[in-house]
A = this chain, B = another copy of it.
Amino acid sequence: MISGTNAIGNTLSKKGNHTYKTFNPKENKDTEWTFFEATSAEIDEAVDLATEAYKEYKDFSGSKKAKFLNAIADEIEALGDELIHTYCKESGLPEGRARGERGRTMGQLRSFATLLQDGSWVEAVIEKGQPNRAPMPKSDIRKMLFPLGPVVVFGASNFPLAFSTAGGDTASALAAGCPVIVKSHPMHAGTGELVASAIIKAAEKTGMPNGVFSNLNSSGIAVGQQLVKHPKVKAVGFTGSLKGGMALYKLANERDEPIPVFAEMGSINPVVILPSALENDSDVWATKYASSITMGAGQFCTNPGLVLGLKGDNLDSFISTLSEEILKLEPTCMLHPTIHAKYQEGKKELSEQNGVTIVADYDKPTDKNIGSQTILKVKGSDFLSNTKLHTEVFGPFSVVVSCDDASQLEKILNQLDGQLTGTILGSEDELKTYEEIVDGLQNRVGRILFNGMPTGVEVCSSMVHGGPFPASTDARFTSVGTSAIKRWVRPVSFQDWPNRFLPQALQDENPLGIVRLEEGSYIK
Contact = CB atoms under 8 A, between A and B. Distances in A.
A493 interface: yes
A41 interface: no
Contact of A448 (B126, B148, B446, B494): B494
A321 interface: no
A172 to B, nearest CB: 14
A260 interface: yes
Interface in A113-168: 118, 120, 125-127, 136, 138-139, 141-143, 146, 148
A475 interface: yes
A80 interface: no
Interface stretch (A30-38, A207-215, A354-362, A453-461): A453-461
Contacts of A496: 449-452
Contacts of A249: 253, 258
A221 interface: no
Given A258-B249, A476-B489, A501-B431, A495 B452 contact: yes
A461 B258 contact: no
Contacts of A462: 125-127, 141-143, 493
A512 interface: no
Contacts of A452: 139, 495-496
A60 interface: no
A458 B515 CA distance: 23
A470 interface: yes
Interface stretch (A307-315, A333-341, A516-524): A516-524
Nearest to A246: B258
Given A452-B495, A469-B258, A141 B522 contact: no
B458 A476 contact: no
Given A428-B498, A497-B448, A456 B136 contact: yes
Interface string A467-480: 01110011110100
Nearest to A451: B496
B468 A490 contact: yes
Q: Which of A120, A500, A520 has the most CB of B within 10 A?
A: A520
A410 to B, nearest CB: 12
A418 B258 CA distance: 12
A463 interface: yes
Nearest to A475: B490
B498 A138 contact: no
A55 B483 CA distance: 28
Interface in A293-342: none
Given A456-B136, A461-B520, A469-B258, A449 B120 contact: no
Contact of A492 (B143, B448, B451, B501): B448
B515 A127 contact: no
A257 interface: yes
Nearest to A235: B476
A432 interface: yes
A249 B496 CA distance: 34
Contacts of A470: 257
A258 B473 contact: yes
Given A448-B493, A448-B497, A461-B517, 6 more contacts: A139-B452, A141-B463, A446-B493, A450-B498, A461-B520, A515-B522
Counting from the closest, the 6 A-B pairs by CB-CB distance are A447-B493, A464-B493, A449-B495, A475-B490, A141-B462, A125-B462
